[in-house]
A = this chain, B = another copy of it.
């Protein structure tokens, strides 16, 4: 599946299974001569790792990264940067029950049908653990974007029907759900904790803002900036939709309301979400993704065995009742990769 390569001028290849030897990533095309330390990447890894709080899986993943290539004396060399995460907390036996049955909501059934063979251990390649490699790569892209004055921030705006009503940016990394509203965050935590006890899970919405992108990024007709961001987001297993700016609300709007008018101070509104005709407008890039409820729940569910017999399954394990807080660094990472890639494409175009 050559689908494991992403990007044009900043290109990444991820590999590895949840309970294999390691997961990792190669980043090809990073600007040479840029300072890059493992500790900088590790900060992002720690935001994604399980066991951070009462609302995340207590599973212990040693998300300690190692730069294997492409960095010399603390600087990128222009050679491909390989970053590895060796797996340690492997409990294949804990997954023997899922060897023979398809867990609802998981990719067990579809992988079996696609490949005719399946590494069932902890979802194998389909595990959320694959996103650790993306976060490592995203940290490299983030470093490159810092030079340009671009920042990427994502946060939980809704969980299980509880919506954030206000935006306190400084609070985002101070609460376990990474919500932007202290009151909503408190309710979200309670909901998630109660779902953990019930053996159920819930979905949510993550919003992302990209600041500091000047007008001009994005390549019509097909590689529009929003098109590439949409692909990046939907490539995250739990994401089932995306909307930019006014998003689905635009279906109920008039053109006279939706058009972002301009005066000499800039745009009067940002219904377009900072992207018009596939190209950044200079306004903040704003989009939201919907995150489905975690598929792994301990409530019993109907399913089939690999040989087609009806059965019931309840996924015992150490799972996140709501994946929003841990998906946020993944969202940011993919955004960093897309935006940095488009900066490089623009440089190629204009050169």
Contact = CB atoms under 8 A, between A and B. Distances in A.
Interface string A111-128: 101111111010011100
A255 B124 contact: no
Interface string A250-284: 11111111111111100010011101111111100
Nearest to A324: B251
A251 B291 contact: yes
Contacts of A347: 347-348, 350-351
A82 B345 contact: no
A195 B250 CA distance: 16
A105 B105 CA distance: 39
Nearest to A17: B69
Contact of A221 (B130, B214, B310): B130
A65 to B, nearest CB: 12
Interface string A331-343: 0000000000001
Interface in A2-24: 2-11, 13-17, 20-24
Interface string A310-351: 100000000000000000000000000000000111111111
Interface residues of A, number: 154
A106 interface: yes
A266 to B, nearest CB: 9
Nearest to A160: B252
Interface stretch (A53-61, A71-79, A169-177): A71-79
Contacts of A195: 254
B230 A277 contact: no
A255 B200 contact: yes
A75 to B, nearest CB: 6
Given A68-B20, A200-B254, A276 B110 contact: yes
Contact of A343 (B2, B116, B243, B351): B351
6 contacts: A77-B115, A203-B251, A222-B231, A241-B241, A253-B293, A259-B301
Given A5-B13, A240-B273, 4 more contacts: A31-B351, A77-B117, A110-B281, A202-B254
